[in-house]
Structure 1
């Protein structure tokens, strides 16, 4: 392996392999290259790959890490353990969970499955679902689990708090139902692994001896349970390498604890810290802006990014009168950059909240610019895909009542809700699983002959599929499910566009399953599917990228528009707490460092919020970066929306054929003109184009938003 391509600090990190090491890796500093080179170096120096554990936060990162290591060395790296925290825990639990009283064929419940249990609890516990909504309850349960609080501890500690006491009762019901169904949720995967390693020394020592070298990526994003898991893996003398950046810790809201990275040297005495500060992504001008913002945070682990790409284009900031002008100007600039040769895919609009996308979507659509929202409905969240997956879950684990209930009448086979309810009640009263009752439905008297026949037919179908499970690979089994269940045949009979779309999705699912190794077991396939995260799934559409700053983490674009930089929006602070401001500042730093070549920053003096125009002031972060940005001051209000961020007029937007119009009160108008309408009041022209011998303008009215008007008939006049 050639290490000459590494810089001095990267080489130092590669060669330090005895004892704990924190690689403090700034944005764009090549951390993945360092980690993969370090792993490859160890294997080349006779460390068996099976003795290496590498933990990532996304499946995509795990795949890329494995592929990169394989490219660096001419050896089989398949024995190496590389995966997310959840994936690693699944592997350990499959082998050892029977110690905790679960079967090794447990299923992993997703959010829909969890919601089903919570909804069951309302009826069983006589609890008001409006007050105790499932989202709130599941959030509380997750928090309690991550604090390692059992249901009984929650109940004991909240006897005077009626809300939390009842939530604790739901938690107790929820956990009991998971155990009955031989199922775990995502929190359980980590918590049960921690419990296993703590309570069973032989299991803990096995893995501590197995993993001689441990790597953890994105260490700044670890939570308390993940931290405990790492400590349990390490033992007394760890060769632990963690890679992270305290300046990019932006997930406090989902449990990330920045103190894990800040206290690394305290937690692992004798630990070495190596800082990677050379950036390979952005220009120095962009890095200067990032450094100017982040230096205002506490500097326990300070660093300053630099690059050999000195200079570069200036970073421009512009404050607009209203948010609609900001949206139009960004769209205008995107058109101009595309005209100069940049592809739309090279550009990204970053905003703090999802709600901000609407205006930019409309503005881009008006100009016919393709765009994609990063994030959206995942493939595996589509109903027809979830149905086929539920069949596979039942085949793997017939105790999975939630999956069973999903498919018992899909496609429709004449099994009504009342029959299903009777089966469930009988199962509960006789301490049986639903599947046991269904298998022996002929012994149950409280159903009519037709219902029994339909249920027996379903039971025979599932039994057939279970019998064939071990003789078929997972792809063949999935095909058998589709054929024997008549699911696709039912869709074909519907003969609608929606049905055809669903068939295409099922075809895609089967194709994907077929691509798996023929030795992959059904349990392993289902585990892998459950571990797919939203982070790993983005829209297939091409065009300008629109996303929140959180969604942009780990991505990079040639051109970035950072919009809505206003107090209350970015930072989006509800209480002016130091920790919250610091996290928002780190988020701003992440946004800035996504840009490779060009960065444009903007805000608005007014924004349409809660049904009215609301005054806004520019973000405090603009003040922090003001010495490193070029502030565009408007000298001619008439041209406010056609002046680009460098102060130049875009001729493609402002050159129009002169058209005579009957409206005698208006001789000519320009984008940027202030106008008054008899009904809509005052506003500003933000767009203008010729249309069928007339002139159509888009006006942003102060109290009525955007309106399209024809000058020949619109009762408007230009005002000073």
Structure 2
């Protein structure tokens, strides 16, 4: 305990009752959780099997177990309940499977399985996958699941119509018929079980003396309900998190959980960990400058006793190519100076930004890995092998059968499969069982039936041997006897060789799991291995031993740290992302995301912004991110083209701006730059000096707003001050009358938004530019730019 600071000691020593620990970035969060669990075990003699610690990634759970093993011993750690929300729910559902209508060997469908299943349902319902894209429909179904709504609980909206309700119903029926669940089901069923008045529910609520939750700011409502239920008998619920790092609202995370914890638990003790042990003083100051401008946050004053270190570099460049060259040159220098490649990271807001960076890294022969790209277990050949294994374990899984029944080719075509699906649907059985149905012989040729029967016999044979073979041996048998290996060898190409290597690596991963399970005293089963693979996250697949520079989105960087960080694309419309449409809550989250990015760096932090960038096939002028203006000039160093964007010589931007005043995407700052040395045309002006022009058939935003509101063009309207905003006085707007005729927009009008789908207008806001408040059903009520909406008839 002496190695902990005072607030850390307070959090560790708290004996009973609810505990809320606010943890600043780099403040020793994992150490506190580790010592708290060790303290409960040693000092308070709490049995390990009565302690539950929940994390968000397998990597975090593994690190916690390793630290606890060093403190308390491996034997004790084996009995602890430590894992992600999903893995804990799997464990609960395996134990109480009958209570939720599943077999003990139920399958977990990953994203691609879910999309394939829903795609087949959409086709069977004779709906257009353009009007009902599987990915979009799934996303909306998941929103309803997270909020506890089944198909019968949904109120129809333009964004979730009757067809979608029926798709949701058929999707759930298909999952249950396959004895499968998706990731949302794991949480929903686990929570329903824990909250139920059944013997299983009562048992679960009495099972744990202490419940600890890491990264509590990232929990959604269903996850919060789960841990509250599991801690109900003792109220010994310890939650650890930082509202400043809540960045996952798009997948259901609700920052209100951590901010409202004291209301839910009035007697909760609150501890704040504010000392940063990770980053240099300059990096901490830069991050604080950004997050302190947040509109709503728990007051925290991050500090460090580390040296000031190098200034934070703010580097202006011409375009994404120059940005990539600049970043990679800096990395090459770091490598020459002995920095471990694994300690260097490049962050970007969207995956699309990685292409040019990857090209430059390859050109300089610098090894790299991408986190969040195509994961190893998402590769086609790997998924094929896993589907074989899952089908062997559970023949009711239609999704797995459809994936491998003709892989490698067995002469089983689409018409054969359509007939098989018709028979299975008519009889109410699985596809596997339908293969042996006499009804199938009436629909198919003898040759087609024989091909299906041979496949059926192959799977039955594997099932008969499943209990006699180790999981890795079974996998090898599948690859050989299915003809998969032989088919790849016949191709005799470099790609086929690479696929064979991936399959060998998969078998190797099964062996690795078997050894690890044996070492931990666990029963090594095929079921447990498949479950483990299904729950792997992007960050869990990081190659710890590979000496490679790491590329990832900022979202993927959460929870990680690096010696050297390059944060690219710090421009308006890129970061903050242009898709935020000025929504204040989303801009707040973008600010928190920037804070997370900055606090990943220990020693060196470089932020780059380009004057123009090609993204999604379009090259457009760019202005510096509003977040750069919040970095104190005393800790920053301007490099490159910075001055041409209004940056003063010390690196601080010339004048504070309203961080939530909407900036016209790339119109307010038109970079008319002579790269030989002249200054950009854009400058800081007050509203009185920035009258938008309306000539040559073009319309000003004021005229557009007047048409919408039915007022005269010169009539004043209430609006927020634009004092201190970047504007281009010569080209304030560039929108035509026809494109901007929005007079049809009235409350009740039906609209369509590219991101949120169908909606209904609730309010027209008299602003410049005009905004619309619309109800987008499952996505809620949103405020968006009028120009982002299209009119729809229904």
User: Superposition pairs for residues 115-130 of structure 1, below 5 Å?
Assistant: 115-130=115-130
Structure 1 gaps of 5+ residues are 647-671, 676-720
Counting only pairs closer than 5 Å after superposition, residues 539-558 of structure 1 correspond to structure 2 as: 542-558=547-563
Number of the residue aligned with 1:183:
180
Structure 1 pair 343–480 and aligned structure 2 pair: CA distance change class (3 A): closer
- Provide closer, same or farther for how the CA distance between residues 566 and 452 of structure 1 changes in structure 2, counting only shifts above 3 A: closer
Match of 1:5 among 3, 10, 22: 3
Instruction: Return closer, same or farther for 1:414/1:601 CA change in 2, 3 Å cut-off.
Output: closer
Partner of 1:44: 42
Q: Which residue of 1 aligns with 2:278?
A: 281
1:185 CA displacement: 0.8
- Among 324, 329, 335, the alignment partner of 1:332 is 329
2-structure distance, mates of 1:263, 1:119: 39
Do the aligned partners of 2:212 and 2:238 also contact (CA within 8 Å) in 1?
Answer: yes
Whole-angstrom CA distance in 2 between matches of 1:632 and 1:446: 74
Out of 170, 174, 182, the residue aligned to residue 173 of structure 1 is 170
User: Secondary structure in 2 aligned to 1:632?
Assistant: strand
SS in structure 2 at match of 1:464: helix
| CA positional deviation for 1:473 | 3.0
Residue of structure 2 in register with 1:91 after alignment: 91
Instruction: Give the direction of change, closer, same or farther, for the CA distance of 1:126–1:241 in structure 2 (3 Å limit).
Output: same
Secondary structure of 1:466's aligned partner: helix
Q: CA deviation at 1:429?
A: 1.3
Indicate yes or no: 2:17 matched with 1:19. Answer: yes
Out of 14-23 and 414-423, give the one that drifted further.
414-423
Corresponding residue number in structure 1 for 2:528: 524
Q: What is the match of residue 387 of structure 1?
A: 384
| 1:615-671: CA deviation from partner (whole Å, max 9, x where unpaired) | 322222122113343342769999xxxx9999xxxxxxxxxxxxxxxxxxxxxxxxx
After the TM superposition, which residues 50-199 of structure 1 pair with which residues of structure 2 at under 5 Å, given as runs?
50-74=49-73, 75-154=75-154, 157-158=155-156, 161=158, 164-199=161-196
| 1:207-356 matched pairs, under 5 angstroms | 207-298=204-295, 300-356=297-353
Out of 453, 458, 471, the position equivalent to 1:461 is 458
Alignment of 1:583-622 (within 5 A): 583-608=589-614, 613-622=619-628
Instruction: Give secondary structure in 2 for the equivalent of 1:412.
Output: coil
1:266 and 1:258 map into 2 onto residues whose CA distance is: 14
Aligned length: 641
Change (3 A) 1:644 1:211: same
Q: Structure 1 CA distance, aligned partners of 2:435 and 2:225?
A: 43
Give 1:509 deviation, angstroms.
1.2
Residue 430 of structure 1 and its aligned partner are, at CA, apart by 2.0
Q: CA deviation at 1:59?
A: 0.8
Say whether the 8 Å CA contact 1:204–1:233 is kept in structure 2.
no
Q: 1:604: Cα distance to partner? A: 2.6
- C-alpha separation between the residues in 1 aligned to 2:137 and 2:531? 25
Kindly indicate whether residue 384 of structure 2 is the aligned counterpart of residue 411 of structure 1: no
How big is each residue's C-alpha offset from its partner over 1:139-196, in whole Å with a ceiling of 9 and x where there is no partner?
1111111122211233xx22x7486221112111111111111111110011111222
Distance 1:335 1:531, change over 3 A: closer
Query: In 1, Cα distance between the equivalents of 2:641 and 2:436?
Result: 80
**Which segment is superposed worse, 137-146 or 420-429?**
420-429
Measured against aligned partners, the alpha-carbon deviations of 1:459-507 in whole angstroms (never above 9, x if no partner) come to 2221121122223332232233223323223322333322222221111
Deviation at 1:418, TM superposition (A): 2.4
Asked whether the equivalents of residues 40 and 72 of structure 1 are also in contact (C-alpha less than 8 Å), the reply is yes
In structure 2, C-alpha distance between the alignment counterparts of 1:145 and 1:443, rounded to whole Å: 37
Cα gap change, 1:41/1:452 in structure 2, threshold over 3 Å: closer, same or farther?
A: same
Q: CA 1:361 to 1:382, structure 2 compared with 1: closer, same or farther past 3 Å?
A: closer
Q: Give how far 1:200 is off.
A: 3.5
User: Deviation of residue 33 (structure 1)?
Assistant: 1.0
CA drift of 1:6 comes to 1.6
SS at match of 1:237: coil
What do residues 318-355 of structure 1 show as CA deviations (whole Å, max 9, x unaligned)?
A: 33344444333333333333343334433222222222
Question: Per-residue deviation at 1:607?
Answer: 2.9
Distance (Å, rounded) in 1 between the aligned partners of 2:348 and 2:91: 38
Asked whether the equivalents of residues 372 and 542 of structure 1 are also in contact (C-alpha less than 8 Å), the reply is no
CA contact (8 A) 1:442 1:452 kept: no
Which residue in 2 is equivalent to 1:35? Answer: 33
Does residue 536 (structure 1) correspond to residue 536 (structure 2)? The answer is: no
SS across alignment from 1:215: strand
Contact 2:314 2:639 in 1 (8 A): no
Cα distance, 1:404–1:360 mapped onto 2, change above 3 Å: closer
Change (3 A) 1:323 1:400: closer
Q: Helix, strand or coil: the match of 1:76?
A: helix
Aligned to 1:371: 368
**Residue 589 of structure 2 corresponds to residue 577 of structure 1:** no
Q: Which residue of 2 aligns with 1:693?
A: none
After TM superposition, the score normalised by the length of structure 2 is: 0.76
Q: Distance in 2 between matches of 1:401 and 1:212?
A: 41
Structure 1, 298-307 or 280-289: larger mean CA deviation: 298-307
Structure-2 separation of matches of 1:256 and 1:339: 42
**Separation of aligned partners in 1, 2:337 and 2:70:** 37
Aligned 8 A contact 2:52 2:82 in 1: yes
8 Å Cα contact 1:317/1:629 also seen in 2: no
Counterpart residue number, 1:702: none
Structural RMSD (CA): 2.7
Q: Using the alignment, how far apart are the partners of 2:535 and 2:170 within structure 1?
A: 25
Q: Specify whether residues 287 and 635 from structure 1 end up closer, same or farther in structure 2 by C-alpha distance, changes over 3 A only.
A: closer
